[in-house]
Amino acid sequence: MTTGVQVGDHLVAGAAEALRRAGEHLSSLQRPEGYWWGELTADTTLESDFILLQLWLYPPSGKTWNPPTRDLVDKAVRSIVARQLPDGGFNIYPKGPADVSATVKAYFALKLAGLPADGPELRRARERILSLGGIQAANSYVKINLSLFGLYPREFCPSVPPEMMLLPGQFIYQMSSWTRAIVIPLSIVQAADPRRPVPEGFTLQELFLPGASLGFRRSEKLLTWRNVFLALDRGWKLWERYGWQAVRRRAVRAAEQWMLERLRYSDGLAAIYPPMLYAIMALDVLGYSRDHPDRAEAEQKFMSLLTDDGERFFFQPCFSPVWDTAIAAFVLAESGCARQESLRRAAEWLLGREVRRRGDWAVKRPGVEPSGWYFEFANEFYPDMDDTAMVLLALSRCPPSEAREAAMRRALRWLVAMQSSDGGWAAFDADNNWTSLSEVPFADHNAMLDPTCPDITGRVLEALCRCGLDRAHRAVRRGVAYLRRTQQPDGSWYGRWGVNYLYGTFLALRGLRAAGEDEREAHILRAGEWIRSIQNADGGWGESCASYDHAAFVPAESTASQTAWAILGLLASGDASSLSVRRGVEYLLETQQANGGWEEELATGTGFPRVFYLTYQLYRISFPLMALAEFLRAHQSENSGSR
């Protein structure tokens, strides 16, 4: 027993020192204005789409294509080629397999930029595409983009009709906010029926797999939503040829006004890459000149996503300062590493970004006072519940002020009002659950809807309860019931916005603990047992993005952020001293870098499951720091209890 105590004391001392170093490192990253902002990185599709946009903006002359942005195109080419896999393909998450859509995009971009068709890069990519089903196997957005240049048959691409703006039942607001922001400008582009030129002789015919169908996949059963929407798609195509052009013009005007309104008070349309790209294309087909203020601003904000520092060239899918700041401020305050002046500046910066205008969310909740926070520097139409909950957690640990108290009261009311009818919380909208829309032909980005999810629900519960609500409040009771109902049979919870079951489970457990759930309840015990059962041999935890493909946990090499999530989940379940917890802490101590942070190659953030993943550069610092702080607090509590 004496040896065990000595080992425990040694671990506690090591954790305290690691916490100090991590806290100093994270504190040093605060900007003078008060915020934190880490890079957010993704895959090669962003650079590939950038090259496509250059072709759109700067058409070729004959056989040559030499846009004025040639230097940037060449840098994008080098960035794409550097990430080509040994098998010739391109993946959508680090160390993942080749993805056919990403590889088709890369092939198009590289060939357009002038790489030789018989060179090693294109030859290997072409072979990989054909082995994955050819260009026919790419997703609908790849096909739509290529069809704009006559490189894929338009009749085999989904129609994205602007007439959806005129449909009853607030139809466009039944789609997720990000889908809405993508398809509305895209509908303007498609309605113009462009056939943009490509260099003479340029083709992608070599990517078409012989014998593979170009058509849409139909459901074997006759009466399914899939087949209904495919029939509607055929109808839209006929309407485009023979329908009343006056109706189409009215629909395009409605789409244009919707888009222009949402370009205001925002760092681009929805402040995320895909809508920002399509907004530029839409403004172009609508006749906005390059020097028109709206178009010039749209292009400037799109290009602001570019990182080009001489060594690296990549686009960020969006910016994450509100998210990064809220997490960093909360973690530093919780760990005892934050200076009050640092927290004061963070709070002032966050308070300056509270939403006070009605956005798309108000369609479902028209009588609710605006509040909440968005993810980026500016995105007034799209505050989200995850950021709002995280900001509330951060503000609850910041120095008090009248402005802070008033904002927190408004945000609490907003969060409670945004609870969905099933008791959970989603990202941007309440009751965004028309499941039939997932069968629309252009829904294969796997994120047509914004349903409630355990990870956000857990974080919202923690925020509500830390800010004064308890189990006596109906919203808290319904949130707890939602989490109990959505637990997986193995004891885990699904994570929509982080990879995956580790993320969902740690947040669900923290929410349940904050809501007063007894740690001896069976569902809490099962969750803890599940976390312990998937620990890696090195003491850490890791989960692959492939878990979304298999709808079950898929192990991966240990990462700092996922190890921290596992430790935080175990601590929230009441397990503060098991061998699993201790080995997890040891893993963090052994892998901490000299600067106080941690290295992490794998993507642990989720954009669209199975389609798009994110690497948050600050996760590898913030969450291990939080785990170490919680571990030390639990150890302190155990020792004081034993005395």
Counted residue by residue, the chain has a size of 643
Closest CA to 92 of 374, 442, 453, 499: 499
Interstrand relation of 555-559 and 541-543 (parallel, antiparallel or unpaired):
antiparallel
- Identify the sign of the CA torsion 260, 265, 268, 269: negative
Two tokens, residue 26 = 């994270």
Tell me the sheet residues that pair with 605. Answer: 498, 614
205-242 burial code (b ≥16 CB/10 A, e <16)? eebbeeeeeeebeeeeeeeeebbebbeebeebbebbee
One-letter-per-residue 3-state SS of 317-365: CCCCHHHHHHHHHHHHHHHCCCCHHHHHHHHHHHHCCCCCCCCHHHHCC
Closest CA to 432 of 416, 414, 412, 453: 453
Question: Greatest CA separation found in the chain?
Answer: 86
d(CA 478, CA 484) in angstroms, rounded, equals 10
Q: Which residues contact 34 (CB under 8 A, 6 or more apart)?
A: 325, 345, 346, 347, 348, 349
Q: Decide: 148 and 189 in contact? Cβ < 8 Å.
A: yes
What residue type is 560 in one-letter code?
A
| 386 noted as active-site residue | yes
Q: Which of 233, 386, 444, 455 is catalytic?
A: 386
Counting Cα atoms < 13 Å in the Cβ hemisphere of 63 gives 1
Closest CA to 138 of 445, 362, 394, 349: 445
Closest CA to 428 of 446, 452, 412, 444: 452
- Identify the sign of the CA torsion 362, 367, 372, 378: positive
Residue labelled with tokens 């990430």: 83
Task: Please list the active-site residues.
Answer: 386
